[in-house]
Amino acid sequence: MCARWLPRLCRLRVRSSAFVTSSSLRARARQITSALTLAEAARAIVRARVGERLTPDVERAAVRALWRFERRCYVVAVTDDVLARVRRPFPVEPVRTLDAVHIATVELLAEPPQLMSIVTRDHRVRENAKALGYSVE
């Protein structure tokens, strides 16, 4: 799919789920994320603003942080191939649809699991990533 551009000798970090809290967020390793992650994060900011859980200053800071994160990442589109993979069972079920999109994106990168580290807060994504042989943060 997109694997031809990936450097073979560096460790990759694939982002999953909105607002992951991990030291690797600040890492300089190549970062890859699904376009879905950016949509989820932007929606989380909007929901927090509408729910008055963010001050205007904090909202601006969150939007800037998301923008910086997006610029550092290679963003993988949610393609027909990703959606086709979502339709099949995963090693650890049940998996919610949006979580399945993240897992399918990782699988379709077709990189050896030892070259990738999955960063997620979601236990469904975590358990499936481990079952597929990926390290998880």
C-alpha–C-alpha distance, residues 45 and 42, integer Å: 5
C-alpha–C-alpha distance, residues 38 and 68, integer Å: 11
Tokens (6 digits) for 109 = 């990168």
| Per-residue confidence (pLDDT) for residue 117, from 0 to 100 | 87
| Per-residue confidence (pLDDT) for residue 114, from 0 to 100 | 87
| Per-residue confidence (pLDDT) for residue 75, from 0 to 100 | 93
| Per-residue confidence (pLDDT) for residue 8, from 0 to 100 | 35
Is residue 129 within 8 Å of residue 111, measured between CB atoms? no
| Per-residue confidence (pLDDT) for residue 26, from 0 to 100 | 53
Q: Give the count of beta carbons closer than 10 Å to the beta carbon of residue 106.
A: 26
DSSP states of 54-110: S-HHHHHHHHHHHHHHHHHEEEEP--HHHHHHHTS--SSS---HHHHHHHHHHHHT-
| Per-residue confidence (pLDDT) for residue 28, from 0 to 100 | 62
| Per-residue confidence (pLDDT) for residue 9, from 0 to 100 | 30
Tokens (6 digits) for 127 = 């358990």
Q: Which domains does the chain have, with CATH numbers?
A: 3-136 (3.40.50.1010)
Tens digits of pLDDT across the chain (137 residues): 333 333 333 344 444 443 333 445 555 667 899 999 999 999 989 998 899 888 898 889 889 989 988 998 899 999 999 999 999 999 999 999 999 999 999 999 888 888 888 988 899 999 999 999 999 98
pTM: 0.78
